[in-house]
Structure 1
Amino acid sequence: MSGTLYGIGLGPGDPELMTLKAHRLISTANVVAYPAPDSGESFARSIAASALPSGVREIPIVVPMRTDRFPAREIYDGAAKEIAAVLETGQDVVTLCEGDPFFYGSFMYLFERLSDRFPIEIVPGVTSLTACAAQLRRPLTSRNDVMTVIPGPLPDTQIRQKIDQAQAVAIMKVGRHLARLKALLAEMGLIDKAGYVERASLPEQKVHRLIDLDAETAPYFSMILIYKGEEAWTLPPSYSS
C-alpha cells in the first residue's frame, strides 16, 4: 500500500483562514512538502508554521522566481520523484499550497505528475479572490452576471475584450503591470468601479479604490476587482488601510 498525497489549500495568508481539515492534516503530518523561493522564506510554510509538528520531515520545492517555465518543469519533475519515493514507503505526504490547490495553485504541477500512480486528496482553501472581495467590502457577482478572472500580464487587447464580455472582473498577477492596467481601465471608463487589494488578510494588507492608488507597481499578491453589472454596488469612499 502506498501513502496518500494531500494537496492542502492554506488560504490567502491569515493562518486562521485555514480550514479545520487543513489544520488537522498538517498538525499530524510526518512529511510536509511546500513551494519555496530561491531566496527568503516560503510563504506557504509561514502560513502553516504554527501547525507544523515537532520533528516533521520537510521537503522544500525551491522554484526560482523566473518567467521561463522550463526550469520550473525540471524542478517539479525532481520534487515529484522525491515525493514519490516517500509515498512508495507507505507514508503520506502533506503538500502545502497558498490559496487553493486548483486555483492557480502550485500543487497542480505535482498532481499532474503523480495522480496516475498514487491516491491523492485535495483539501480546498479560501482563495485570494474571495479574500480580496471580503477586504474590499463589495460583493463579487450575483444572479446571472458573468465573472471573468484575467491574468494581468495578458496584452491590453485581450484584457479589453474579456472585460467587455463580463459583468464582474478579477485581474490577478498585477505586479509590474499596474500602471498599464490603470491606464487601460481609465481609458475604458472603469477605473472608478475598480478596487485594489494587496496581501489580503495579512498584517501588511492594503486596500484602495484603484483611482486613489498612488503607485506604479504592485506586489505579486495583489488583485484588481471590477464590478460593472446591474447591481447598485459601489466602493466605500475610502479605506482605513
Structure 2
Amino acid sequence: MTAPGTIYGLGLGPGDPDLMTVKADRLLRGARHVAFFRKAGRKGQARQIVNGMIPETAVEFPMEYPVTTEIPLTDPRYNEILSGFYADCTAHLRSLAEKGEDVVVLCEGDPFFYGSFMHLYTRLNGNVPVDVVPAITGMSAAWTATGAPITWGDDVLSTVMGTLPEDEMVAHMTRSDALIVMKIGRNIDKVRGALRKAGKYDRAWLVEFAAMPGQTVQKLSEAEGKVTPYFSIIVVHGQGRRP
C-alpha cells in the first residue's frame, strides 16, 4: 500500500513574503500540489502573496468560494452552500493524500485564526495526515504598523468581530484594555458606534493592508466616511502597568 501524503495548512503570515517562516518557505518551494482559496474571477490574496515562489511544475488547485456577501450570514442557505463547498474541497485533497501526494494549502495569516483552512482541517484530521504550520497573524502586523505596543503589564486584549450586534461589541470593548476589531467592511458605522459607547473611539487606529503593498495607518477619527477595504483592522492600545 502507498503511504498517505500529508496535507499542510501553510500559514503565510500577514502579506509580506519576508515574514513567512523558514518551514513555510521550504514546504512551498518543494510543493507538488498547491491549493488556495479565492473569490471567483480573482487570483486570490494567498496566491498573490507567494507569486514567484511556487515551483513551475506544481499543480495548482484554486478553491473558489460559492457565495458572496450578497447572501446574509443568517440565511440558512449560507451554511448549507459553504458546507457543501468545504466537503467537495476536502474530498479532492483527501484523494490526493490517499494516493501518496503531499498538498500545500495556502493560508493567509495563521491557519488556526479565523481562516477557511479550519473547515478543511476538521474534515481531514483523523482521515489523512495533516500538519499545520503556524504564522504571524494579520493583527500582529497591524499593531506593529502603529508603532506602539498593543499591551502592557496586566492589560487584557480582546479580538472583536465587527459582525457582532452592536451591544455585544460594546460589552466586549468595555471589559477589555486593548482591542483588535476585525471583519469591519460594511460594519464600519456599527463599529464606530460601539467604540464611542465604550469610550475608546478617540484611541482607535485604522490599519489597512497591514504588511502588504498599500499599507496605511491613521487614527480612526480621521477616516470619517471612508470605505474600508476587506483587509482592515482597528487597533486600540492598552495603557496598562509598566515600570
TM, length-normalised to structure 2: 0.91
* Superposed counterparts of 1:224-239, under 5 Å: 224-231=234-241
Task: Give 1:211's match in structure 2, choosing from 221, 224, 231.
Answer: 221
Choose the corresponding residue for 1:83, options 76, 93, 97: 93
Question: Which residue of the partner structure matches residue 96 of structure 1?
Answer: 106
What CA distance in whole angstroms lies between the structure 1 residues aligned with 2:195 and 2:119? 33
Contact 2:167–2:194 (Cα < 8 Å) also in 1: no
Superposed CA offset, 1:116-147 (max 9, x none): 11111111111011000111112111322111
2:206 matched to 1:193? no
User: CA–CA distance in 1 between the matches of 2:82 and 2:63?
Assistant: 10
Residue 216 of structure 1 and its aligned partner are, at CA, apart by: 4.1
Aligned mates of 2:147, 2:39 — CA distance in 1:
32
Q: Which runs of 5+ in 2 are unaligned?
A: none
- Structure 1 residues 226, 128: CA separation in 2 closer, same or farther (over 3 Å shift)? same
Q: Go from structure 1 to structure 2 and tell me whether the alpha carbon gap of 1:190 and 1:165 turns closer, same or farther (over 3 Å shift).
A: same
2:68 aligned with 1:65: yes
- 1:41 paired to 2:46: no
Amino acid at match of 2:188: L
In structure 2, what is the Cα distance between the partners aligned to 1:36 and 1:203? Answer: 19
1:127 partner letter: T
Deviations 1:148-185 (A, max 9, x none): 10100111110111111111111101101112222332
Structure 2 residue 134 is matched with structure 1 residue 113 = no
Counterpart secondary structure, 1:201 = coil
- Matches of 2:53 and 2:68 in 1, distance apart? 27
Given the alignment of the two structures, is residue 74 of structure 1 paired with residue 77 of structure 2, yes or no? no
Runs of 4+ in 1 over 4 A off after TM superposition: none
Measure how far apart 1:74 and its partner are: 0.9
What percentage of residue pairs aligned between the two structures are identical? Answer: 35
- 1:159 — aligned with what? 169
Q: Secondary structure at the match of 2:195?
A: helix
- Mind listing any 5+ residue stretches in structure 1 that lack a counterpart? 233-241
* CA-based RMSD: 1.4
Structure 1 match to 2:183: 173
Q: Is the 8 A contact 1:179 1:217 kept in 2?
A: no
TM-score (norm 1): 0.92
Given that 1:179 and 1:216 are in contact with CA atoms closer than 8 Å, whether structure 2 keeps it comes out as no
